[in-house]
Structures are given as C-alpha cells and as structure tokens.
Amino acid sequence: MNTNMRFPIYLDHNATTPMDPRVLECMLPYFTEHFGNAASRSHPYGWKAEEAVDYAREQIAKLIGADSKEIIFTSGATESDNLGIKGVIEMYTKKGNHIVTAVTEHKAVLDTCRNLEKKGLAKVTYLPVGTDGLIDLNQLENAVTDQTVLVCIMYANNEIGVIQPIQEIAKITHRKGALFMTDATQAVGKVPIHVDEMGIDLLAFTAHKMYGPKGVGALYVRRKNPRVKVTAQIDGGGHERGMRSGTLNVPGIVGFGAAAEICQKEMNEEAKRLKYLRDKLENALLQIEETYLNGHKTQRLPHVSNISFKYVEGEGLIMGIKDLAVSSGSACTSASLEPSYVLKSLGVDDELAHSSIRFGLGRFTTEQEIDYAIEHVKKAVHQLREMSPLWEMFKEGIDLKSVEWVEH
Amino acid sequence: MAYSEKVIDHYKNPRNVGTLDKNSKNVGTGLVGAPECGDVMRLQIEVDQETGIIKEAKFKTFGCGSAIASSSLATEWLKGKTIEQALEIDNMDIVEELSLPPVKIHCSVLAEDAILAAINDYRIKNGLEPIQEKNKQ
C-alpha cells in the first residue's frame, strides 16, 4: 500500500479531479509538435490534428454508447448545458416552449432556464424532490404537457450523488413527445451510461470530472430516432456540424478522449474500490452521535458521501479538518447566509444544512487516507462540539426549536 | 478563504471555552445568533460584586472560525474590565485585531451583541435597567 499521503488529502472529487498522468502524456505532443488546427484541410499539421480529434471523439462516444458523430465539443459542461437547453428551445419554437427540470439541478441548468424565462422564451416547471433527493415520476408525468419540448433532469447530483431514475424519466418524456436531456457531469466515467438503452437525447458532460483536463466538455446530441438538432449559440466558422463554432481545443480533446478510454476500462473495478472506501468512511462517521446522511443511501454514485454533523457548523468544521480538502453546504458570509439549496430542497433544515460536509473520493484516494480522514473528522467534531453551545443545550435536553433565537 | 494567523490561533487554542453557572446572580449570560443562520454565540461574564470588575468570562460558539475567534478574543478582553469599560469594546476593534475580511464582519458584530446581551442579563438580575443602545463614544 502507498504509505505516502499528500496533504491536504483531496476529498473533493465532485468539484474537480486531478488529471491522470496517462492523460497528460497523451496530450503533450499536441501542444507543441502536433499543434495544427483541426479545421486546416490543406496540410499535414491540420490532418494530424483532425485525426487526433476524430480518435478522441470515438473514445468519448464509446464511453456513453453513442456514435462519434453525435459528440459536439464545447468548453465544458456549463456550455454544454447552455447549448442543449437554449439550442433546443430555439430550434423547436414551433412545437412549444415549455421545459421541465428539477430544483436540485446544477446552476448551469437552473440559471439557463431562468434566463429563458426572464426573456420570455420559455416557461419552466421546477419539479421538487423527496427527502431522498429523487424526483417523483408521477409529478413528472403530470408536469409534461403538449407544450413541453424538453425535460432536463440531471443524472447524478453534484452535492449528494443521488442518481435519478433516468430510464423511467426518458420513457415518460418520450411518451409525451418531448426530448430528454441529462446533465451527466458527475456520472460519466463513474457509472455505466448508454444513451440508446437509456433513451437519452442530449447529454452534457466534461473532461475535468473524469481525470481529464479542464476547459473541454461535450454535448451528446442524438442523430437517430429521433434526429435532434440544436441551434448554435456561438456563431462563427460552423465547426461541430454547425452547432458550435470555434477552433477545437485539440490537446484538451485528446486528453478528454484518453480520460474516457481509461474510465471505460477501469470503471467497474474503480467503482467497487471507491464504494468500499466510501462505505468505510461513511459508516465510521455515521457512528458518531447525531450525524446524518443526506440523500438516498443506495441509489447514489459510489464515491460521494454527504453527511451532516449536527451542532457543528460546516465552515468551522472544515477549518478543523484542514488536513482534508472537502466542501461544505454552509456558506457563512455576509453576502449569503444561505445554506445549500440542494440540501434545503431535500427538506434538510437550515441548521443541519449548515452542518454538512461533502466527501468526494477519487481514483488516487487510498485506504490509508480514508483511515486518516475518519480519525481526523472524529476528533474535530468532538472538539467543536465541546465548544458548541448547541451541543451543550442538546445534552441538557433543551429542545433547540423551542428557543427564541435572536437573529442578527 | 485564507484565515489570519490570529484567527487560526484562537480557533486552535480557544481561550476561556466553558460554562459559568447561569443561575448565579453574579453571572450574566448572552446567547445571540440562530442555528439556521449558521452561528450561535454564548458569552458569559462573572462580575465581582465588590469591585464591579469582570473576573471571569467564558464562551461557547457554534460557527465558523472567525465567529469562534471573535468570541474567544472577546472573553480575553472582558476579563479585568468594569462593565462600563466592557461596553466600550467595539466590533471594529475585533475586526482589526483579527484582520477579519469584510465577509466576516458579522462575526464581530455578533460578538459585540453577545457582550451587550451578557451585560444586560447581569443588570436585569441585579435590578438594573437593560442598556438599549450602546454608547459608542
């Protein structure tokens, strides 16, 4: 076992992942030696770049069971979400202008929808979620009307890792004659995805969440049954079958392709290993008194755990576990005292949302690091509770809900 | 966000964490903030009835590092002061001492509120009127 731990221990793989050294190796020649523009048709520099992009497109398409012609390269998942949603609304205006999405979506989806609403270009229904983070399929069925052109529900949530029932959602969507898009940023390369088997029409994802480079993503756009089109949101040279202009980021795309191939080969083993480590961490931390798991226990990504440590504030806890790089659902700043909207949507009360920590494990996480993390968190929670007036009141049997708090 | 060295020091080695007997006539307790806002401070002072000097101060805080440091610092400053001197502690003094960034100024405000709340609890217990507005001069 690797006995070297690198501090702080990185457990924030839902924010971004380190690049796999094998990916970097594939990319390097494309910065210097093979620097050509993939759109240059008149010389070998361009041909070499185009060949590399074509190869990467195959690698990426294969990972999600798509055809390489269905992959549109973008700058990342945020752009892919924007292109998919705005592009569909613009392309299918004759059919309708209604979008169905969910309250726990990433801001790249929610803010895109709000933008369309504000401009009067779309009407949007935001489905609630249950305490487990899952949408209700009956509510979805009722929300989709003959005006609905797009149902956009994320594959797996970035804060709690909960996986939505994608196949069922796609079935309902198609029965009602709408298109189904999913933001699969957190799921691609982590769990098996097959766009045909699952009935996905558009899928947004990015390289940097799967051990590839930052600044490159893709939008899968179905070509058959049905043939889907999106209106370009960036005008220019008509790259990417006219759906996304701009010179291709060749080294980034090469890295994205290499990352996809590694994920495809290693996903099953990796998921098993990470689930074991995640469960070890989670079970140990949930043994601490008054700790709670956020989100569905099983219908979830294998490498994420979101836990609330009651009576301890998240930001304070993060400072106490400075040897761990994690993130919190608490945002204690004067600009925003609002805790995570995702946790709030699950019905987690504000106090518990402020007490939450997201642990995201990854390819290079070791068991030794997890063991260290367990002890480190336990100790910090204990120390902070000793310092917490809420913990003392809880121990005295005072119901905190009955206290008249002086908000400031 | 990077914390100042003084915040880290107070967070790691908090001064005067603890609990005084809230039923004692000599003890004033201030509990401010709210769990749903992400910070709650409890500050207690024990006043020497003869000299009128704060001889002991304790705190417990649920909150971020800056909130913990602000209350820890407040207890340090309170000890040895008279009530009148304690009322002169301004939140901006805490901001300055701990080099708090603008987004964390509310932590120092909370500490100032906690001092006032503790003093008022003590005053009410001892038959005095609570102080409404702090004299900032």
- Rounded to the nearest angstrom, the minimum Cα separation between B81 and chain A is 24
According to DSSP, the β-strands at A179-183 and A202-206 are parallel
Q: Do A408 and B32 touch (CB under 8 A)?
A: yes
> Is CATH 3.90.1150.10 correct for A9-14+267-400?
yes
What angle, 0 to 180 degrees and rounded to 10, lies between the N-to-C axes of helices B91-98 and B65-78? 110
Closest-approach residue (CA) in chain B for A354: B38
**pLDDT of A118 higher than 70:** yes
Q: Do A406 and B33 touch (CB under 8 A)?
A: yes
Q: How many Å apart are CA A216 and CA A238, to the nearest integer?
A: 18
How many CB atoms sit inside 10 A of residue B133's CB? Answer: 6
Of A335, A350, A388, which has the smallest distance from its Cβ to B62's Cβ? A388
B107 catalytically annotated: yes
Q: Do A313 and B64 touch (CB under 8 A)?
A: yes
CATH topology of domain A21-263: Aspartate Aminotransferase; domain 2 (3.40.640)
Task: Determine the average pLDDT of the residues in A173-185.
Answer: 98
Q: Do B36 and A349 touch (CB under 8 A)?
A: yes
Structural domains of chain B ordered from first start: 5-125 (3.90.1010.10)
Closest-approach residue (CA) in chain B for A389: B60
ipTM of the complex: 0.93
Q: Where are the domains of chain A?
A: 9-14+267-400, 21-263
Phi and psi angles of residue A205, each rounded to the nearest 5 degrees, phi first: -155, 175
**In chain A, positions 290-329, which contact chain B (CB-CB < 8 Å)?**
311-316, 319-320
Phi and psi angles of residue A117, each rounded to the nearest 5 degrees, phi first: -65, -45
Q: What angle do CA A268, A272, A276 make, to 5 degrees?
A: 170
Which one is predicted more confidently, A34 or A338? A34
Q: Do B103 and A335 touch (CB under 8 A)?
A: yes
A318: left (phi over 0), alpha (psi -120 to 50) or beta: alpha
Positions of E strands within chain B? 27-34, 39-47, 54-62
Q: Which of A26, A113, A152, A332 is catalytic?
A: A332
Task: Determine the average pLDDT of the residues in A127-137.
Answer: 98
B37 catalytically annotated: yes
Dihedral angle sign, alpha carbons of residues A16, A18, A22, A25 = positive
Average pLDDT, whole number, for chain A? Answer: 95
**pLDDT of A138 higher than 60:** yes
Task: Determine the average pLDDT of the residues in A246-270.
Answer: 98
According to DSSP, the β-strands at A148-152 and A98-102 are parallel
Dihedral angle sign, alpha carbons of residues A327, A282, A385, A321 = negative
The answer to whether the A9-14+267-400 and A21-263 domains have the same CATH topology is no
CB A311 within 8 A of CB A355: yes
Give A3-12 pLDDT, tens digit per residue.
Answer: 678 899 999 9
| A5-38 CB burial, b ≥16 within 10 A, e <16 | eeeebbbbbbeebebbeebeebbeebeeebebeb
**Residue B132 per-residue DSSP state:** -
